[in-house]
Structure 1
Amino acid sequence: MNFSVEDLQAQFQRLRMTETSKELPDFLRQAETHAWTYKEFLRELLMYEEKPREEKMIEKHLKWAKFPYQKSLKKFDLKEQPSISEG
């Protein structure tokens, strides 16, 4: 088999894995440096691709929800809700 990194990047782009396509050379270097197994290499690639997709999906759902503002659970004041305990 004779194929280049650019060929692999093109395949990732066709699969709409653009983030992975861009970072593939770095992943290959890391895999060689750290002697990753095939499973470790694939896991790193998939985790890298999955994270931005998940963030975009959350962003899209929040936009669709049309909340007047965003408030995380960290900002939620439990003292304002006496029926809810912290523990």
Structure 2
Amino acid sequence: MSNGLEELQHAFKQLRLSEVSTELPVLMPEAEQRSWTYYELLNHLLKYELTKREEKNKARCLKWAKFPYQKTLEDYNLNEQTSITERKMRQLKEMN
């Protein structure tokens, strides 16, 4: 790992952008290969961090809720509940 990359990783960690810091060695070569502009690179890094934070937050909330099991809309059986139409179920899935 280059010294510049290590410095960037350290800076991201200090800014509490740990997901980007960890993934930086993978993302930088991809950025070079695709010739991303600075704007594209920064946008990609920030979106990556936000996505990972949302995933962690969702997992944390589900853990704290202590549900007996997790059920998704894909697991829902329309035959068991006739008050929800297939169209309504598709709309609910689009909102997710």
Q: Map residues 5-84 of structure 1 onto 2, 5 A cutoff.
A: 5-84=5-84
CA root-mean-square deviation = 1.6
TM-score, length-scaled by structure 1: 0.84
Per the TM alignment, residue 80 of structure 1 is displaced from its structure 2 partner at its CA by 1.0
Deviation digits for residues 40-78 of structure 1 (CA, Å, limit 9, x no counterpart): 111211122122211111111111212111101000111
Q: Secondary structure at the match of 2:83?
A: coil
TM-score, length-scaled by structure 2: 0.77
Distance in 1 of aligned mates of 2:4 and 2:37: 20
Distance in 1 of aligned mates of 2:28 and 2:62: 35
Q: Secondary structure at the match of 2:55?
A: helix
Q: Gaps (5+ residues) in structure 2? A: 88-96
Per the TM alignment, residue 12 of structure 1 is displaced from its structure 2 partner at its CA by 0.3
Q: Where do 4+ consecutive residues of structure 1 move more than 6 Å?
A: none
Q: Gaps (5+ residues) in structure 1? A: none
Percent identity, aligned pairs only, is 51
Aligned residues: 85
